[in-house]
């Protein structure tokens, strides 16, 4: 599961892979370490066309996940003789959401797979954690960290509790798809890797094609495409442009 990545390239670098998006600014500060529930740039399909926007990482969790956590808390309170309002507990149960989406056949994700909820998540490297291999192992398309995109989805103004201290909020959210790992990633993380787009044609398909066509992009990169560019770091600060 990829829960850490970097994005250190410019808006112009994004346009080389997907040109037709509106951007409120021409540059972005480098983000050498992007963590779950923090904001990151995505190019998302909106009513007036693709738009670059800072969006919070972590799509809404399935209801059963929220229900299970809330029920455990409710049972503990009940065991202490305290009154429980289950509806309120479900509403206020904190969840940072799902950063990665693997099973797109699952009913919870079906409503997010249409063109109107697709997005491109720019990145320059991503980490998979393996303690025996040195901790965070960073993968990129080359030592110079060329920009590519994760195939992502997003949703606007979702009401939830992300952090207890923050309380209930409405926030735009995103996540990206994962798939079987290729050879390089499998050696470090045998379960999955992000679904990655590396050409303008792939980006165009993801952002415009019906799901029957776009779903083919949820696949591993060919073996030999990625390389390990850093180990044991929480930020990949190379490759600034």
Largest separation between any pair of C-alpha atoms in the chain: 61
124 and 145 in contact (C-beta within 8 Å)? Answer: yes
pLDDT cut 90: percent of the chain above it: 74
First to last CA, the chain: 27
Inform me whether the pLDDT recorded for 78 exceeds 80: no
188 and 163 in contact (C-beta within 8 Å)? Answer: no
**If we measure between CA atoms, which residue out of 65, 61, 45 comes closest to residue 53?**
45
CB atoms within 10 A of CB 238: 18
Task: Delineate the domains of the chain, giving CATH numbers in brackets.
Answer: 5-23+30-53+99-152+173-231 (3.90.1680.10)
Inform me whether the pLDDT recorded for 241 exceeds 60: no
**If we measure between CA atoms, which residue out of 183, 213, 178 comes closest to residue 196?**
178
Predicted model pTM: 0.91
pLDDT band at residue 230, thresholds of 50, 70 and 90? very high
Give the tens place of pLDDT for each residue, 91-125.
767 677 899 999 999 999 999 999 999 999 999 99
pLDDT band at residue 85, thresholds of 50, 70 and 90? confident
Q: Which residues contact 223 (CB under 8 A, 6 or more apart)?
A: 182, 183, 184
Give the tens place of pLDDT for each residue, 117-130.
999 999 999 999 99
CB atoms within 10 A of CB 202: 21
Give the tens place of pLDDT for each residue, 22-76.
997 667 899 999 999 999 999 999 999 999 999 999 999 876 676 777 677 766 8
CA 5, 207, 27, 173 torsion-angle sign: negative
143 and 226 in contact (C-beta within 8 Å)? Answer: no
pLDDT band at residue 87, thresholds of 50, 70 and 90? confident
| Measured CA angle at 56 (ends 225, 133), to 5 deg | 40
Residues in the chain: 241
Residues 29-65 as b/e (b if ≥16 CB within 10 A, e otherwise) read: ebbbbbebbeebbbbbbeeeebbbbebbbbbbbeeee
């Amino acid at each position: 599961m990829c829960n850490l990545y970097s994005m250190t390239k410019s808006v112009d670098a994004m346009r080389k892979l997907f040109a037709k998006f509106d951007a409120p600014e021409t540059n972005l500060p480098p983000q050498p370490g992007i963590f779950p529930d923090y904001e990151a740039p995505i190019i998302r399909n909106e009513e007036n066309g693709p738009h670059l926007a800072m969006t919070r990482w972590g799509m809404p969790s399935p209801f059963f996940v929220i229900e299970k956590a809330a029920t455990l808390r409710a049972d503990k309170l009940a065991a202490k003789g305290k009154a429980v309002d289950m509806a309120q507990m479900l509403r206020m149960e904190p969840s940072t959401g799902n950063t990665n989406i693997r099973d797109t056949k699952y009913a919870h994700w079906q409503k997010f797979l249409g063109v109107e909820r697709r997005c491109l998540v720019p990145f320059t490297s991503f980490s998979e954690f393996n303690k025996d291999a040195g901790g965070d192992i960073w993968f990129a398309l080359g030592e110079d960290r060329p920009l590519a995109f994760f195939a992502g989805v997003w949703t606007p103004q979702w009401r939830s509790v992300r952090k207890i201290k923050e309380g209930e909020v409405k926030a735009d959210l995103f996540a990206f798809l994962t798939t079987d790992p290729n050879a390089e990633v499998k050696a470090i993380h045998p379960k999955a890797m992000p679904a990655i787009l590396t050409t303008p044609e792939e980006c165009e398909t993801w952002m415009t094609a019906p799901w029957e066509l776009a779903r083919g992009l949820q696949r591993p990169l060919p073996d030999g495409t990625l390389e390990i560019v850093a180990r044991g770091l929480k930020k990949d600060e190379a490759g600034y442009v």
